[in-house]
Amino acid sequence: MTKKNKFVAILSMALIHAGLFSHAQQRDYKIQGNLDQNVAGKIYLMYSVEGNYTTDSTLVKAGAFTFTGKIDDPVFATLSLNPNVLKGKYGGIEHLDVQRFFLEGTVTKVSGGPLLKDATITGGTAQKDYQLHGAPIIPYNAKLKVLNDDVRKFKDAGNEAEVAKLEKQIEELRVLAMKNDSSFVEQHPNSFVAFTLWKNRYRGVVDPDAESGFLKFTPQIRATKSGKIMGEKIALAKKLNVGKMAPNFTLKDKDGKPVSLSDFKGKNVFLYFWYENFGSFPDFSFNLGRINRTLKDKNFVMLGVYYDINSDQGKNAWLSILTDKKMDWPNVEEVGGITADMTIPGIVAQTYGLNANTMPQAFLIGPDGKITARHLRLADKDLVSKLEALLQ
Amino acid sequence: MKKTIFTAFLSMLLLLCMVNRTAAQTFLDVGTTVSDYPKVTWLKGEAITKFEKDKIYVVELWATWCVPCIAAMPHMNALAQKFKDKGVVFIGQNVMEEDLEKVKTFVEKKGEGMSYHVAFGGAKGNEFEKTWLEAAGINSIPQTFLVQNNKLVWITTPYQLNEQVLDLLVAGKFTIAAATALTENR
């Protein structure tokens, strides 16, 4: 991963997934643009709510434009003026003059210019917070640009010593940006922007230790749509913590016969939820074989639960893999349980909090049905020795 | 009569050979016993044909095209020097390439930068590939095998192998848990 533009990345990525559902408690928003009189053309508004992307566009006449719509909680949005719409087979849009801001169910004013990136955007509390948070980062961004340009120059000249020195400085700036985020979060427990910054550190599996940070936010924040979603994730994390009973379920095996987790009570169960190609498939499948060979006679059973997240072949892909890779241990499927468009119809997926961001996952369950370990990495060559040490 | 018996014996022998060729794949897992070193072409240092019970072996996989493998060589070389009198044998095992001359040239140029045993695996399908790479599910390099007491004790990577881990091996106190705890604390 390159460090280039790391905290233009931090700043935007930290805020870009401020999402929520688009029903109940929707508020009207209005964006009133008054750019320089000479500005004309087309302007785009883009934002994403829980993985659902919205794009709107309108004409700019003598610097004036208007957007209206509805949203629940504030959302991190992008305005793009006169982007380059690419012609040809693949199309696409090249955004050249953009500004990011916090869109809220109120009136937002965009004024100044002539470039959009030089305009002033004022709106609700979230936009104020966003600017307050972002102000200290502006000089960091300026320094970062210089450092990145220099890194490129030295890399081209093959000067590794200088590159290493500069990358150290870039890392220091990144740490300063992170500190800025942390103190903003600490000092603004009633700010939706602060909550968004904090919550976006938990993009994958949430652990119960997220609760202490969550409770620092006000009841008002915790009652927002995203607040409630985070609360639910923390509740599930507690339910699936080490020491708790693993929730039972029943799914079908390759012959269509029902298999339940409780069928294996009395044995250590390595329960893994997987799909093809979450990483190196050969490494993953070979690792399952290692675990099977080494542990199968130690009061141990493996139970694989398959999802077809990136395969449109449903059960067929799964059946081929089972045969090809000689997965001669219990395997069941919940095909269709997690879909590509982020809906989770599967009951087992819902029970275990499985989605595209939290897959794959693996648990070790003791003979008493209680969870012995989680956060097990499926392609980790050392996994077999870790499991062996935990068997009861 | 003798000729018939002899022909029968010969055909039985041939039959046995054919059956053996389709035998199940053997696997190389942590805990597997290893006695013989696969047949390879030795380019530097004494040829090693057997693993000795009282020695510790570090088999470091590399190729001339593998940038991180080459980057790790100074580190491996330093460890090799430090531990050579403590019963630790370092082997730089070339894999996943077929041009022997290219490998030889590389090793010559490296000189003292590779002060340990160096071997060339061979063309596709060679013995090292079959009995160590395929058998251990190795699809990418760098990768490091650690052998002690004729057993494979760890499959790891160059930067997880440090002085403290080697000290554990030398002291007879090696476990994967202890070794990973050392690298996690860094």
Query: What is the ipTM, given to two decimal places?
Result: 0.83
Distance separating alpha carbons of residues A17 and A125, to the nearest angstrom: 18
Q: For residue B25, which residues of chain A lie inside 8 Å, CB to CB?
A: none
CB contact under 8 A, B137 and A290: yes
- Average pLDDT value for residue range A365-374: 98
The closest CB to that of A385, out of B27, B30, B140, belongs to B30
Which residues on adjacent β-strands are paired with residue A301? A269
Read off the pLDDT of residues A305-349 as tens digits, 9 standing for 90 and up: 999 987 778 899 999 999 999 999 999 999 999 987 778 889 999
Backbone angles phi, psi at A190, to 5 degrees: -110, 15
pLDDT at B20 over 50: no
Place of tokens 């409770």: A215
pLDDT bracket for residue A12 (50, 70, 90): low
Mapped onto helix, strand or coil, the DSSP state of residue A32 is strand
Nearest CA in chain B to A290: B29
Give burial (CB, 10 Å; 0-12/13-18/19+) of A216.
Answer: middle
Distance separating alpha carbons of residues B49 and B33, to the nearest angstrom: 15
CB contact under 8 A, B137 and A280: no
Read off the pLDDT of residues B170-183 as tens digits, 9 standing for 90 and up: 999 999 999 999 87
Place of tokens 């937002």: A108
Nearest CA in chain B to A382: B176
| Residue of B138, B140, B153, B176 for testing the chain A interface, max A β-carbons within 10 Å | B176
Nearest CA-CA partner of A305 in A337, A279, A328: A337
Give me the pLDDT at residue A340, please: 75
**Cβ contact A274:A360 at 8 Å:** yes
Read off the pLDDT of residues A61-87 as tens digits, 9 standing for 90 and up: 999 999 999 998 999 999 999 999 888
CB contact under 8 A, B139 and A287: no
Give me the pLDDT at residue B2, please: 65
The pair of three-digit structure tokens given for residue A96, joined into one six-digit string: 């050249």
CB contact under 8 A, A382 and B27: no
Q: Which helix (H) or strand (E) holds A227?
A: helix A225-239
Nearest CA in chain B to A291: B29
Read off the pLDDT of residues B84-123 as tens digits, 9 standing for 90 and up: 999 999 999 999 999 999 999 999 999 999 999 999 999 9
CB contact under 8 A, A290 and B29: yes
B78 C-beta neighbours (distance < 10 Å), count: 12
Give me the pLDDT at residue A22, please: 36
Q: Specify the amino acid at residue A11.
A: L
pLDDT at A13 over 60: no
pLDDT bracket for residue B157 (50, 70, 90): very high
Q: What is the pTM of this model?
A: 0.82
pLDDT bracket for residue B11 (50, 70, 90): low
Cis peptide before A258 (omega within 30 of 0): no
* Least confident among A124-128, A170-174, B1-5: B1-5
**Cβ contact B120:B41 at 8 Å:** yes
CB contact under 8 A, B137 and A293: no
Place of tokens 């659902």: A52
Share the mean pLDDT of chain A.
90
Handedness of CA A377, A379, A382, A387 (dihedral sign): positive
